[in-house]
Amino acid sequence: MAKKRAGKPVRPTTQAKAKVKTKVETKAKVKSVRRATKRTARAKKYVYFFGGGKADGDRSMRDALGGKGAGLAAMTNAGLPVPPGFTISTDVCSLYYANKGHTPATVETEIAGHVKKLERAAGATLGSTKNPLLVSVRSGSKFSMPGMMDTILNLGLNDAAVERLKARTSNGRFAFDSYRRFVQMFGSVVLEISKAVFEHEFEAVKHERGVSLDADLDEQALRDVVVRYKRVVRSATRRDFPQEPHEQLAMARDAVFRSWMNPRAQEYRRIYDIPDHIGTAVNVQMMVFGNSGDRSATGVGFTRNPATGAKEFYGEFLINAQGEDVVAGIRTPQPITELKQVMPKAYAQLRDITSRLERNYKDVQDFEFTIEDERLFMLQTRNGKRTGYAAVVIATDLVAERLITQKEAVLQVDPESLSQLLAPGFDPAEWNAIPVVTTGLPASPGAASGQAVFTAEDAVKRSDEGTPVILVRRETAPDDIAGMFVAQGILTATGGMTSHAAVVGRQMGKPSVVGASEIEIDEDAKWCSIGGQTVREGDFVSFDGLTGHVKLAQVASKPSEILQVMSGELKAAKSDISRRFMQILTWSDKYRRMGVRANADQPDQAELAYAFGGRGIGLCRTEHMFFGEGRIPIVQRMILADTEADRRAALAELLPLQREDFYGVFKAMHGEPVTIRMIDPPLHEFLPKREELMVDLAKLEAKGVTGDALEQKLVLLRRVEQLHEFNPMLGHRGVRLGITYPEITEMQTRAIIEAACQLAKEGGKVTPEIMIPLVGHVKELRNQKVIVDRVAKAVMKERGVKVKYLVGTMIEVPRGAMTADQIAGEAQFFSFGTNDLTQLMLGFSRDDIGKFLRVYQDKKILDKDPFATFDVEGVGPVVRTAVELGRGARPGIKLGICGEHGGDPASIHFFESVGLNYVSCSPYRVPVARLAAAQAALAVKGGD
């Protein structure tokens, strides 16, 4: 199975910060790596030892050592029991790629020195027949990628060493179990032979011996497995299984580097915005054996519950097992609390160590351990991934326990957690009325309902068609990640709370129920049976990720507890999570510099935004109001009018309706500024589609209808054809409408100012900000401003009230941005319309990008969708320029952003760095933006 790689990856060094990278930096790094390669790179340290209570590295070195390597170094330095080993730094991964898939000879020498050092520490020698050293080879990048890269265990075994291991331990079963695992892992990971081929042989031996459990195979059977595996390797690679441990080690190391670019690792990085260029480290570590008998075990755990955040010791273990057995879902593991009975001393030590780790890292730890003959070894620790719910609970608890400060809590919570908390649940009444068909482990909370699919591909296919799906699998594997991403929820039959499905589900904030063992699945035939009922692809399945209950029905979901508190349905005092949610936001506000506004056109949206802490409206799209009840015919009459007089008549009818809209929105914002954008879209959007009209006409004609009805349709069709544009987005829209039909600007201004006057008279407060869209030339703005000021003055005179208002513009046409100094001469504020700006800067239609975006991402031409995450490198300089020009011409000019990027944390980071006054986003994103803006302010202040 040859590895396919799309293009050559860029491999700069790794000191890179995750967030925002520019091409310039990347190029410089590639150069420096090349230079380093040529110069033979002697000066630099590439390999870091850990063992005997001392490590070369430390916990701050995640860039070079990866998360796992840094954790191993930190635990070693803290005097914890960690098997000795060394970490080959991420720089070597870059060198490997820059060097066309070879590790430079100088690094090889440095590694050889560390092997010697490890041999001394372990008291065993790699390749020795007397006392062979066995190691694990483990990948580990800066950001943990669960299950993405494969670990190789028991490396160093060969035909001679396995006999030594047997003799030394007097346990032939154990020795050959270790060997067969090694050959299989090495075969699949390094030699790239399909796992299924090995599994087939394994099953064949089990079948021959008439056993069903792996553990029931005796030494002789396992010897047979090894013979078969070696035959598999020989026929697949045309050479014998490599017996030389140094060669095994070099091959495994390079395979780890290669696995960095495997498709599932790339997919994972794409979803989680992890840059491709940072590379992975390789950890080589002395083996300890959890599979050496009944006084041995292996396990994983968390210092707090990662699903609910509750402060409880949490995890699973398996007696007489190795490595991935716990998470692979082959045997069902025991809850970690049971370890207390089985091995009380090791348990007590584990609790003690892990709570120390939590205190040191000031965060929940996700740890891996192995017990060999009742001796505990720590193999990994890292900050635990958690659900959004748990993130909020844990951060607020840690503050209450005085383990972290409020500021640290603000930095700890991923802003997306807050949006997970606003995710819907089921209506309890409806949900409770449906019988439970089975119960699995509640791995990740949230209500999920959709049609059952049994493969990741089907999940993607159906959800592309707009169908909500539930991915039902025996267990999930990293290959399933694309399907998991699009599914409403993930349901598996095997595996525990730390299985792949559980870990990934929690991280994605995806409702997940795992280990629902009563489900029998035939993934190939695409059906399963649950509690005696057959579920086929397309049948509805629903589950609650907080209780683990699974039901066969389509169930509508319900707003989150927090939304219920917001709407007053639930008393705030009754909701613990809502109190914590508010706490995080209140703390955020202390560190936030930018304001957060909302994009809202309706009073109820404005109310919600205000309740979420939105202070002001950054974008009120007036045209949305035109679609309100009974308004479209009036709008159409305005558009169809042949004369100005007719148009004015229609506008006069719209006036009171718009005034009412504005009044409602102003009131809902409690005196905070409201930015109202004048009509923006091309007018044809308000008329029926040409094709539809033609069909209607054909129908009327077929029925023999004549006269007025037919005539009206014909007129409409003619007008639609007149308005037809080849590029409506570049056509007659935005300020161009106001210039050609000044009466529209007049009516909208009148509605705004009348509403403001009315509110002012009632003692209310409001500051309307009238925003002219799509300005590219200062004269366009000047033209409209004259109208706005004239009408405003007239209205205030009529009403006998004075209100304060501002006139400004959207900066969304590149020419407008580049002449922002001139425009600022007229504009009292700018709001960056980054949707249009992105569209016009990249020349990508935001409505058509879907056709090629995915290909662009697959081919690594674009990392991210530029409409979702602001293109700092390409569009950023234009925003920066406009900010500087605008402030130069009008110091104190108000600057904001109202494009979709206003709710995206990475984009918010950029807006903070250019010093905008506020971001504006959809009401539901307001909490996310408040937290993200606080984090950005702290990062920018801290020199990030």
Interacting residues with Mg ion (CB under 5 A): 368, 380, 812, 833, 836
Q: Which is nearer to ligand ADP, 124 or 379 (CB)?
A: 379
How far apart are alpha carbons 23 and 26 in whole angstroms? Answer: 5
**Could you give the CA distance from residue 289 to residue 154 in angstroms, rounded to a whole number?**
9
The whole-angstrom separation of Cα 670 and Cα 438 is 49
Least distance in Å: CB of 289 to ligand ADP? 7
Tokens standing for 330?
A: 């082959």
To the nearest 10°, report the CA torsion of 440, 446, 449, 451.
-70
138 binds, among Mg ion, ligand ADP, none (CB under 5 to 8 A by kind): ligand ADP
Sign of the Cα pseudo-torsion (754, 626, 922, 728, in order): negative
The answer to whether 81 and 376 have CB atoms below 8 angstroms apart is yes
Nearer to ligand ADP, 333 or 927 (CB): 333
Shortest separation between residue 901's beta carbon and Mg ion, angstroms:
13
How far is residue 811 from each of residues 197, 658, 854, measured CA to CA in Å?
60, 25, 28
What are the residues facing 830 on neighbouring strands?
809, 895
CB of 310 to Mg ion, least distance (A): 23
Tokens of 542: 């629903």
**Rounded Cα gap, residues 495 and 802, in angstroms:** 68
**Smaller CB separation from ligand ADP, 368 or 836:** 368
Residue 833 interaction partner, one of Mg ion, ligand ADP, none, beta carbon < 5-8 Å per kind: Mg ion
β-pairing, 438-439 vs 549-551, is antiparallel
Interacting residues toward ligand ADP by CB under 6 A: 83, 136, 138, 147, 151, 153, 285-288, 298, 323-324, 368, 370, 379-380
CA 250 to chain CA centroid, nearest Å: 34
**Residues acting as catalytic residues:** 500, 898
The answer to whether 496 touches 329, Cβ cutoff 8 Å, is yes
Give the torsion sign (CA, 482, 487, 493, 499). Answer: positive
The token duo for 515 is 């280990």
Question: By the 8 A CB rule, do 28 and 42 touch?
Answer: no
Report d(CA 867, CA 863) in Å as an integer.
Answer: 12
Q: Which is nearer to ligand ADP, 300 or 491 (CB)?
A: 300
Question: Smallest distance, Å, CB 297 to ligand ADP?
Answer: 10
> Using CB distances below 5 to 8 A depending on partner kind, what does residue 803 bind out of Mg ion, ligand ADP, none?
none
Question: Which is nearer to Mg ion, 639 or 810 (by Cβ)?
Answer: 810
Rounded least distance, CB 172 to ligand ADP, Å: 20
For residue 845, the tally of other CB atoms under 10 A from its CB is 13
From the list Mg ion, ligand ADP, none, pick the one residue 812 interacts with, judged by a Cβ distance below 5 to 8 Å according to partner type.
Answer: Mg ion
Q: Is the dihedral of CA 402, 408, 409, 414 positive or negative?
A: negative
**Which residues 6+ apart lie within 8 Å of 897 measured at CB?**
618, 831, 832, 834, 911, 916, 918, 919, 920
423/778 with CB nearer Mg ion: 778
Name residues whose C-beta falls within 8 Å of residue 255's C-beta, 6 or more positions apart in sequence: 152, 189, 190
SS3 of 326-345: the string is: HHHCCCCCEEHHHHHHHCHH
Query: What contacts 568, CB < 8 A, 6 or more positions away?
Result: none
- In angstroms, what is the minimal distance from the CB of 497 to ligand ADP? 15
What six digits make up the tokens of 37? 């390669």
Least Å from the CB of residue 125 to ligand ADP = 17
Please state the φ and ψ torsions of residue 727, each to the nearest 5 degrees.
-130, 75
Which is nearer to ligand ADP, 363 or 544 (by Cβ)?
Answer: 363
Of all helices (H) and strands (E), which one includes residue 122? helix 105-122
**Which residue lies nearer to ligand ADP by CB, 139 or 488?**
139
- Give which of Mg ion, ligand ADP, none residue 224 binds (C-beta under 5 to 8 Å, depending on kind): none
Q: Which does 415 bind (CB under 5 to 8 A by kind): ligand ADP, Mg ion, none?
A: none
Residue nearer to ligand ADP on the CB measure, 41 or 282: 282
User: How far apart (Å, rounded) are the C-alpha atoms in residues 421 and 399?
Assistant: 20
Token pair belonging to 450: 């959709």
Phi/psi class of residue 938: alpha, beta or left (left: φ > 0; alpha: ψ in -120 to 50)? alpha
Strand partners, 120: none
Q: Choose between 434 and 739: whose C-beta lies nearer to Mg ion.
A: 739
Taking the complex as a whole, how short is the minimal distance between the CB of residue 852 and Mg ion, in angstroms?
22
Q: How far is the CB of 128 from ligand ADP (least distance, A)?
A: 18
Please report how close the Cβ of residue 328 comes to ligand ADP at its closest, in angstroms: 10
Please state, in angstroms and rounded to a whole number, the distance separating the CA atoms of residues 336 and 333: 9
Spatial distance between the Cα atoms of 128 and 141, rounded to a whole number of angstroms: 31
Tell me the residue nearest to Mg ion as measured from the CB: 836
